[in-house]
A and B are shown apart, each in its own frame.
Chain A
């Protein structure tokens, strides 16, 4: 056994670090990230365009589709460096979700049509999975697509659709057939968000943010050539996609950076109680990080992460949530004034530490992490069934 990275890996890491600290990095994005204020749509586009300009956008794609073809270790190091440089998360919807589905199950025409725009971030994708009546039980989804000539006609609604307000395209799981086994009648459809009959309604979350939406489909005509793979195979593609989403789901590098911030804050007032809690969290983080490395080592040797990746999701989100609690604790009573994730106007700022308001925003916002991407209860069911065999 050997836990060290190779000479080439370390050199790779240096290159990434230098690139991220270079002058081309959009300064306005970094400034907002450091302050913990929300990024605009344009900020996100600028950031992704920058990543593309460095040739890193397809960090988890094979070379033949324009990706970097990096090894799992390189991907790991890349994501680490992004977090250390206080970058926003690379949006997963195009790159890590629909992209791999398209290049794995799509036809040549679909690959040519959609993949380049994903890499260049010319299109913003969102995910149409959950429905009001289908959350944990996703396969019970009811949004219907009926083939009429060259078009599918789609009716139904999707919910918790992240950043649908910015999206150009949505990939949807739709029901094309009512079957005995609910998973069998599901298909995977790509839909232009500008299609007539689509309505996006914001859902404001408890932190006051507009991140998620309801998306309504009324007689939306979708060209039949936007179906991926075969009708009725959507569930298989969805499961494939979920396995991809798991990469980096533990959020270790981001937590590390945040933890350092918190330590700097607490060192100022020498709070022994908080320091102890931070140490406990750090120990849990070490265990999680090494678990992630074990998964990585398995992938590097050609293995597939199975239900073990559910450990990363469960413990990763628990740690993320605990960290937000510690920030709130550090800010004490000064969390009280709070007017939303954008903070306060510069000429109207309440007294107290400047991290107080972002701490509240994070604390409330991060309640979602144990709910989304398959709730932690569902993840435990997966482990119980797939690993423990009970």
Chain B
């Protein structure tokens, strides 16, 4: 057994850490959130130049052929700085599905993603189906050899900026994943800000005509690919949560050492010390499940899906505890939008809500 990161993985971590230190302090981030796209195009270009957008892709498609470990390294560092660039939606979510599909032009699409010039997002959620993504009402129908797409999708990450969408739909009572251009006729897009400062879109499809090759996967194949995408996405946002938890407890420790009340640093008070210890313990326990899930996913272990659910539950609970304690220990400063600490709480809240919340995954784990 060896639970150490390789030299290469450590180098990647160093690189992301350095990047965030120079380009992603709280003020930089505020400017990014206020910009037109809600993320920084410059940063995205640099992600491409540094090769980060190529991390999970196969060499055949121009990637580095790295696995989930490298992805979690990236995301943990992203989490510390609360990075908002659309890496999850474009590289992880879309990339996983594209790479597993039989689309004739998938290599060229992936190459464009890797180069940073092209963004794709997965439209998986709908208004009335909660977390049962596969029971969706958006349909692909076939009429006289013409496929068309109808329905609406919500909570599409980076939906206002993506060039293409992979849409989860129902075709003849079975799931289908289809690729749609953002500027196709019959598609309207509305973009919203999210609670954690990112953006998401709502897509409405009215008789959108699909070519035969735009159907990426159908039936069991689509379900398998979609679930694989969910697993790897949960892994990535969990890693991000671990990074955010680490930053939260460290910033809180720092703050309590500096903040003086009753003529002493408030870190002297034992009740606060124990709270910070609890934050640390939860972070470590989350990290443990993260590593376990990462290794299982990497080796196609049949237990992977259960561990992913366990991880999502731990992330939800720990994120809430760490986020809330961090705010509480910062006092009034904790609820001020001008301090970074409250923004971690917002990100934890968003992460818990995505891809099945804590309760959803408790039930999934129970039903194993």
Residues of A in contact with B (beta carbons under 8 Å apart): 130, 133-137, 140, 159-160, 203-206, 208, 212, 273-274, 325, 328-329, 331-339, 344, 348, 350-352, 360, 363-365, 367-368, 370-372, 375, 377, 380
Give the 10 A-B CB pairs with smallest separation, nearest first: A351-B127, A338-B195, A206-B342, A337-B192, A137-B261, A351-B154, A204-B337, A333-B353, A137-B262, A160-B332
> Is A140 a contact of B261 with CB atoms below 8 Å?
yes
Bound Cα distance from A344 to B342, whole angstroms: 22
> Is B193 a contact of A338 with CB atoms below 8 Å?
yes
Bound Cα distance from A134 to B259, whole angstroms: 10
> Is A336 a contact of B155 with CB atoms below 8 Å?
yes
A-B contact pairs, 6 of them (CB 8 A): A203-B337, A334-B155, A336-B353, A338-B194, A351-B152, A372-B332
Q: Which B residues touch A205, using CB under 8 A?
A: 335-337, 342
Q: Which residue of B lies closest to A203 (CB)?
A: B336
> Is A333 a contact of B155 with CB atoms below 8 Å?
yes
Bound Cα distance from A380 to B272, whole angstroms: 13
Bound Cα distance from A203 to B331, whole angstroms: 14
> Is B190 a contact of A335 with CB atoms below 8 Å?
no
Q: Which A residues touch B337, using CB under 8 A?
A: 203-206, 208
Query: Is B20 among interface residues, defined by CB-CB distance under 8 A?
Result: no
For window 162-218 of B, CB contacts with A under 8 Å fall at: 190, 192-195, 200, 202
> Is A337 a contact of B200 with CB atoms below 8 Å?
yes
Which single member of A136, A208, A332, A363 contacts B331 (CB below 8 Å)?
A136
Q: Nearest-CB distance from B361 to chain A (Å)?
A: 12
> Is A136 a contact of B155 with CB atoms below 8 Å?
no
Q: Which B residues touch A332, using CB under 8 A?
A: 130-131, 353, 357, 360
> Is A333 a contact of B125 with CB atoms below 8 Å?
yes
> Is A351 a contact of B202 with CB atoms below 8 Å?
yes
Q: Nearest-CB distance from B366 to chain A (Å)?
A: 10
Q: Provided the pairs A137-B262, A206-B335, A375-B331 are in contact, do residues A335 and B349 lie with their beta carbons within 8 angstroms?
A: yes
Q: Which A residues touch B146, using CB under 8 A?
A: none
Q: Which residue of B lies closest to A368 (CB)?
A: B335
> Is B332 a contact of A130 with CB atoms below 8 Å?
yes
Q: Which residue of A lies closest to B260 (CB)?
A: A133
Bound Cα distance from A136 to B332, whole angstroms: 10
Q: Nearest-CB distance from B279 to chain A (Å)?
A: 15
Q: Nearest-CB distance from A367 to chain B (Å)?
A: 5
Which single member of A130, A203, A336, A380 contacts B200 (CB below 8 Å)?
A336
Bound Cα distance from A333 to B196, whole angstroms: 13
Interface string of B24-52 (1 = CB under 8 A from A): 00000000000000000000000000000
Q: Which A residues touch B354, using CB under 8 A?
A: 333, 336
Bound Cα distance from A306 to B310, whole angstroms: 46
Q: Which A residues touch B193, using CB under 8 A?
A: 337-339
Q: Nearest-CB distance from B265 to chain A (Å)?
A: 12
> Is B131 a contact of A371 with CB atoms below 8 Å?
no
Q: Nearest-CB distance from A86 to chain B (Å)?
A: 25
Bound Cα distance from A325 to B261, whole angstroms: 30
For window 328-356 of B, CB contacts with A under 8 Å fall at: 328, 331-332, 334-338, 342-343, 345-346, 349-350, 353-354
Which single member of A329, A368, A380 contacts B357 (CB below 8 Å)?
A329
Bound Cα distance from A372 to B332, whole angstroms: 8
> Is A371 a contact of B338 with CB atoms below 8 Å?
no
Q: Which B residues touch A137, using CB under 8 A?
A: 261-263
Interface string of B146-163 (1 = CB under 8 A from A): 000000101100000000
Q: Which residue of A lies closest to B328 (CB)?
A: A370
Query: Is B324 among interface residues, defined by CB-CB distance under 8 A?
Result: yes
Q: Which A residues touch B154, using CB under 8 A?
A: 334, 350-352
Bound Cα distance from A134 to B154, whole angstroms: 46
> Is B192 a contact of A371 with CB atoms below 8 Å?
no
Q: Which residue of B lies closest to A273 (CB)?
A: B359
Q: Which residue of A lies closest to B266 (CB)?
A: A136
> Is A363 a contact of B349 with CB atoms below 8 Å?
yes
Bound Cα distance from A100 to B332, whole angstroms: 27
Query: Is B6 among interface residues, defined by CB-CB distance under 8 A?
Result: no
Bound Cα distance from A155 to B358, whole angstroms: 50
Q: Tell which of A328, A351, A365 has the most Cβ of chain B within 10 Å.
A: A351
Q: Provided the pairs A208-B337, A351-B202 are in contact, do residues A339 and B192 lie with their beta carbons within 8 angstroms?
A: yes
Bound Cα distance from A63 to B327, whole angstroms: 43
Query: Is B144 among interface residues, defined by CB-CB distance under 8 A?
Result: no
Q: Which residue of A lies closest to B363 (CB)?
A: A273
Query: Is B367 among interface residues, defined by CB-CB distance under 8 A?
Result: no
> Is A135 a contact of B194 with CB atoms below 8 Å?
no
Q: Which B residues touch A367, using CB under 8 A?
A: 324, 327-328, 334-335, 342, 345
Query: Is B271 among interface residues, defined by CB-CB distance under 8 A?
Result: yes
Q: Which A residues touch B353, using CB under 8 A?
A: 328, 331-336
Q: Provided the pairs A332-B131, A339-B192 are in contact, do residues A159 and B332 lie with their beta carbons within 8 angstroms?
A: yes
> Is B155 a contact of A348 with CB atoms below 8 Å?
no
Q: Which B residues touch A380, using CB under 8 A?
A: 271
Q: Nearest-CB distance from A159 to chain B (Å)?
A: 7
Q: Nearest-CB distance from B346 to chain A (Å)?
A: 6
Bound Cα distance from A192 to B284, whole angstroms: 53
Q: Nearest-CB distance from B338 to chain A (Å)?
A: 7
Q: Which A residues touch B336, using CB under 8 A?
A: 203-206
Q: Which residue of A lies closest to B272 (CB)?
A: A377
Q: Which B residues touch A352, using CB under 8 A?
A: 127, 154
Q: Which B residues touch A377, using CB under 8 A?
A: 269, 271-272
Q: Nearest-CB distance from A17 to chain B (Å)?
A: 35
Q: Which B residues touch A333, using CB under 8 A?
A: 125, 130-131, 155, 353-354, 357
Q: Which residue of B lies closest to A271 (CB)?
A: B359
Q: Nearest-CB distance from B332 to chain A (Å)?
A: 5
Bound Cα distance from A83 to B167, whole angstroms: 45
Q: Which residue of B lies closest to A321 (CB)?
A: B324
User: Given contacts A334-B127, A334-B155, A351-B126, could you give 5 more A-B pairs where the C-beta distance is less than 8 Å?
Assistant: A137-B263, A205-B342, A206-B345, A334-B353, A337-B194
Q: Which residue of A lies closest to B193 (CB)?
A: A339
> Is A135 a contact of B200 with CB atoms below 8 Å?
no
Q: Which B residues touch A338, using CB under 8 A?
A: 192-195
Bound Cα distance from A235 to B354, whole angstroms: 49
Q: Which A residues touch B266, using CB under 8 A?
A: 136
Interface string of B300-325 (1 = CB under 8 A from A): 00000000000000000000100010
Q: Which A residues touch B192, using CB under 8 A?
A: 337-339, 344, 350
Q: Nearest-CB distance from B206 to chain A (Å)?
A: 16
> Is B338 a contact of A203 with CB atoms below 8 Å?
yes
Bound Cα distance from A274 to B261, whole angstroms: 40
Q: Which B residues touch A351, using CB under 8 A?
A: 126-127, 152, 154, 202
